[in-house]
Structure 1
Amino acid sequence: RQTGLVLLGPPGEPELEACRRNLGVEEVLDAAALSRRFPGFQLQAGQVAVLDSTAGVLFADRALRAVQEVFRRHGGTLRDGEKVLSIQPGATVTVTTTAGVYKAPRLIITAGAWTGAFVEQLGLRLPLQPLRINVCYWREKQPGSAGLDSVSPCFLTLGLSQAPHGIYGLPSIEYPGMMKVCYHHGSPTDPDKRDQAPRSDIALLSSFISTYLPGLETQPAVMETCLYTNTPDEDFILDRHPKFSNIVIGAGFSGRG
């Protein structure tokens, strides 16, 4: 769904300027111009916004279902609800789960936050840090007060001192009348114990919303959890195992996979 994307930050901020140049955008909006275009947003004095009108929202669940359907059509079989117990490398790779044993000439490991534990048993230590992310949905104070209609854009902050990792938001498809606003960072966690992690970023988000999105309530109406798996430079790992070339690893997508 095409929504547009508003990039918010201080003028001259390197990432913001790089985005403006690479997008070929000449127009930079000040606080008054942004409010006229999108009444739900309120910039602070001296801050600017860059609009990418081509951007939009990818429906991740639908995309995943589509990939799974193509996989099935080409003869693949999905096995849900099986915990992997061990991986035995070799010319034929053996994977043992709680439901059985599988053998194949090649193996692809894309296990998200659990990848580090999987590859350790293959003699490989990767610098992967699972993070628990609070996924928050914030309700409009009054219907229509935050401008969450068909023209409401996504947004991303760059270079704001109070949010060094960036805050992003998008009109909620799942919960009408709410906006999804999240901090692009989280708390280090054991993926098997992710529901026990703290909620320290909620105060940061509440403060941001009261300043930049005054049409939203300052406490989340719905809060869910997701997991990032970050690398030190937030770049992806897509490669073969250095010793077992028939094992391919995809990991460390750092919230953007």
Structure 2
Amino acid sequence: MDYCTKYWDQLQDSSGKDIFRKVGYLAIGAVGEDFLNENIHCMTVNQAPYSLFSPEEFKRKYPMLSYDDNVGGMLDPDGGVLMADKALLAMQKSFVSHGGILRDGERVERLVPGEIIQVHSDKRSYRGKSVILCCGPWTNQALSHLGTQLPLKPIRISVCYWREQTRNSHSSSLLPTFFDHKCCDGHSIYGVPSLEYPSHVKLCLHSGPAIDAELRDVTDSAYELRLLKDYVSKHFPGLESKPSIVESCIYTMTPDTHPILDRHPVLENLIIGAGFSGHGFKLAPAVGQILGDLALGKDPTNFDITPFKLSRFGNYTKANF
């Protein structure tokens, strides 16, 4: 059992809340091509159980889907859905129970470096021997007066929910979470069965336009919605071809889509966690352990963070890519 899964299970048990629903994860792709092979390799290397479906088996297993005759799937039975709101609340309660203090609704305005770092918000000031900075798409704004700009690009994701034509035809007992790689004009698709909104499947592009985080809903979404409508009409005939709910969220992308987990290149007591590229929340337990170790002046003992160091980008002042 991996570190994150163990933690989420512990948090679920201690909170008594339904935090993780193990509905499985389905990789969809042409048999013999890279995406399915990479998923199979990952499961094999980690000695994790999985099921592999030929195109014929795939059609029988998931009759609500419609794909070409060369498309199959790989099912990870331990995949699933984190209920983000409940998970976050349980984490906060655990944090407070261990002496932590939460301060919501404050804007960080200035960091003053030094042996003791000062953090000035619009409401109060804080002092600490070390600070962990996890500001998502606002990371570069927080670092700007320190002369540091990281290669981070905020993008907007159109979060779309598609109504079932027949109720419960795409429920979590029939359809797992799924991912289809570079299938839609070069974009990837991800989705979640009917869970969050009754009789609605969450199905989104795993990409979007670059934005100013302060103006995320200004950018036109017609292109993304057109691609999604075409995809749903072709591959999910049991869903209505127009989304009935459209929301938005922000990914903060790095050039290689891997996060930054490292000390500031000059200020050793300023720790940065950023650029999670749309897949950070599920890794929160491991990320928290890594950033906590760094803040305490230790190198993480349970994880190799070499792939996540700032040095892989070379130029810390590069802001765009």
Q: State the TM-score, normalizing by the size of structure 2.
A: 0.75
Aligned to 1:250: 273
Does the CA-based 8 Å contact 1:13-1:159 persist in structure 2?
Answer: no
In the other structure, the counterpart of 2:318 is none
Which of 1 and 2 has higher RCO (CA within 8 Å, sep 6+)?
1
Identity %: 39
Q: State the Cα deviation string for residues 41-70 of structure 1 (Å, max 9, x = none).
A: 111232222222221111222222222112
Shift of 1:27: 2.9
Distance 1:244 1:210 in 2: 52
Match of 1:235 in 2: 258
Give the 3 Å change call, closer, same or farther, for CA 86–109 of structure 1 in structure 2. Answer: same
Instruction: Report the counterpart of residue 48 of structure 1 in structure 2.
Output: 72
Question: Unmatched 5+ residue regions in structure 2?
Answer: 1-20, 45-49, 281-321
Show structure 1 runs of 5+ residues with no match.
Answer: none
Give the partner amino acid of 1:203.
R
Given that 2:23 and 2:81 are in contact with CA atoms closer than 8 Å, whether structure 1 keeps it comes out as yes
Name the CA distance, whole Å, in 2 between partners of 1:68 and 1:130.
26
Question: Runs ≥4 in structure 1, deviation > 4 angstroms?
Answer: none
Q: Secondary structure at the match of 1:125?
A: coil
Which of 113, 123, 134 is the matching residue for 1:99? 123
Q: Indicate whether 1:28 and 2:53 are aligned.
A: yes
Question: Is 1:13 paired with 2:37?
Answer: no
2:178 equivalent in structure 1: 155
1:1-257 alignment to 2 at 5 Å? 1-24=21-44, 25=50, 27-30=52-55, 32-144=56-168, 146-160=169-183, 162-199=184-221, 200-257=223-280
Change (3 A) 1:149 1:4: closer
- CA distance, structure 1, for counterparts of residue 195 and residue 209 of structure 2: 26
CA contact (8 A) 2:172 2:195 kept: no
AA aligned to 2:109 is L
User: What's the counterpart of residue 295 of structure 2?
Assistant: none
Shift of 1:163: 4.3
Comparing 59-68 with 245-254, which one deviates more in the overlay?
59-68
- The TM-score normalised by the length of structure 1 is 0.93
Q: Secondary structure at the match of 1:141?
A: coil
In 1, distance between residues paired with 2:73 and 2:173?
Answer: 20
SS at match of 1:195: coil
Offset of 1:148 from its aligned partner? 2.1
Distance 2:96 2:234 in 1: 48
Q: Note the C-alpha offset of 1:26.
A: 6.3
Q: CA deviation at 1:205?
A: 0.7
SS in 2 for 1:132: strand
1:236 maps to a residue whose letter is P
**Offset of 1:149 from its aligned partner?**
4.8
How many aligned positions are there? 254
Instruction: State the Cα deviation string for residues 61-120 of structure 1 (Å, max 9, x = none).
Output: 222222211221121111111111111111111111111111111111000110111122
Greater helix percent: which structure?
A: 2
Bigger mean CA offset, 247-256 vs 190-199:
190-199
The letter for the 1-side match of 2:251 is Y
CA-CA distance at 1:150 after TM superposition: 2.5
Deviation at 1:29, TM superposition (A): 2.5
Distance change >3 Å, CA 142–CA 148, structure 1 → 2: same
